[in-house]
Structure 1
Amino acid sequence: MVYNLKPNLTFWPIQTPGCRKSRLPLKVVGMASKGSIQAEHGVLNLGEVLVGDCRSFEVPLINNGSCSVSFCLAVQQSLLDPGLPENSQKKDPVALELDSERGTIPARSRLLIRSTVRPARRTRYCWDLTYQTLSSAGSVLDAPQALCQVQDVRCSVEGLSKLQIWSLFSLGHLNAHLQRDPAPPELTYRVPTRHSLRRCPSIFTSAMLDFNFSAAPLGSDPSNVLLMFENTGSIPVSGQYL
């Protein structure tokens, strides 16, 4: 909506007593708009997060209007597990935390809201983010409006990502050991020589690295992990892992 105002400016010189007043007509044109904001992405997919761990991410908010918008955010949590009773879903604390629930976005600007996820149980989470616009005095102007959804957060051990498996099995250290030249105690020969009289290496070989299989709930299904080794050389290599 456009407003047209016609105020008058009256002025006179105070240094000259009895001087006639002057009037200057003005024209003021203003435009009123209802502020609103939106999320840059309607759905945010976080993937897998370990129970008891945390992950930080940012929610981009955009104001495409011609005026600044003050807002307050709210989070509604849902657990996408049909086996959970309804009362336990209400008692669970909200696992999504916002660094700032109130703020102001200038006109035609973008604001990043930093958030942190801390899942407390092994299930799938989903959060709905809503907002309400605020007046200059901080009072709420309208009803909650949908902003975006954070979903598909799977908190299970069997849904580990490749990066997490790489870290748990110390594959970076394993590759470093495999690329080194073998030490004399690690070498074996097809026939006895003066360098080695044993066909098999000693069982007292010191451990090169540890595998961390993480934790799993009692009674859960076993997990199978397949390690594939690649020979990047030009001759066949035989090895034994103890």
Structure 2
Amino acid sequence: MTTFITTPQGRHIACHRTPGREPGVVFLGGFRSDMTGSKALHLQAWAEATGRAFLRFDYSGHGASRGSFEELALSDWREDAAALIGLLTEGPQVLVGSSMGGWIALLLARDLPERVAGLVGIAAAPDFTERMWEEMTPADRSTLLETGVFHRPSDYSDEPYPITRRLIEDGRQNLVLQGPLHLPIPVRLLQGTADVDVPTPVALGLLDHISSPDLRLTLVKDADHRFSSPACLELITRMVEEVLVLSAPAEVQISNAS
């Protein structure tokens, strides 16, 4: 059942919490996506079948959550994620971040290490606002700077989506590829070779940039940015299960192995 949570910042967030054993799994969706996508629902079904705690939600201005999308930016959505993790989960969680959600997961893992047990990135898109800026024509940039918004065509909707000046400027306050990114947790990155939104070199660069005791990148030939074919969904589940095992306390791993 979908419920609404009011965050400390006063935003009203739609979410769905599946009770179960810890560490739980938190799904962080992408830019302009919502918590009813195939990856989120697949992970919920897996959590229900295995008795694992699971949380999915809509960022403010997304899906069923309140707020105007054009007035919001990455800092707000990071705050939403941190607030719900703080209010609705117990102890360290495994974060599963898709596209922009991968960027937010990296920020949370860096800044709230006590609440993050592991990370699975699916076509993770760190610093994507800078790539948006670089891909704009001079005319597009002028429109953005003069009017505060540029409407960019989308492959996922008939309607173009707004890229605001605040989104670009706020993104520059949240970059993770400009400085050290040490994550003392298991990290798994999944990437499709046919992804035109987050090309494979982005994933390879992130693999090289992150410092982690257990970091792996899996490339899936011909998978696109949605990464939601049955084989891709199964791979996501396997990586989550792997990270859960690796993030378990040492005595639990020893017990399971005996």
Q: Rg bigger for which structure?
A: 1
Higher percent of residues as strand: 1
Higher percent of residues as helix: 2
- The TM-score, its normalising length taken from structure 2, stands at 0.20
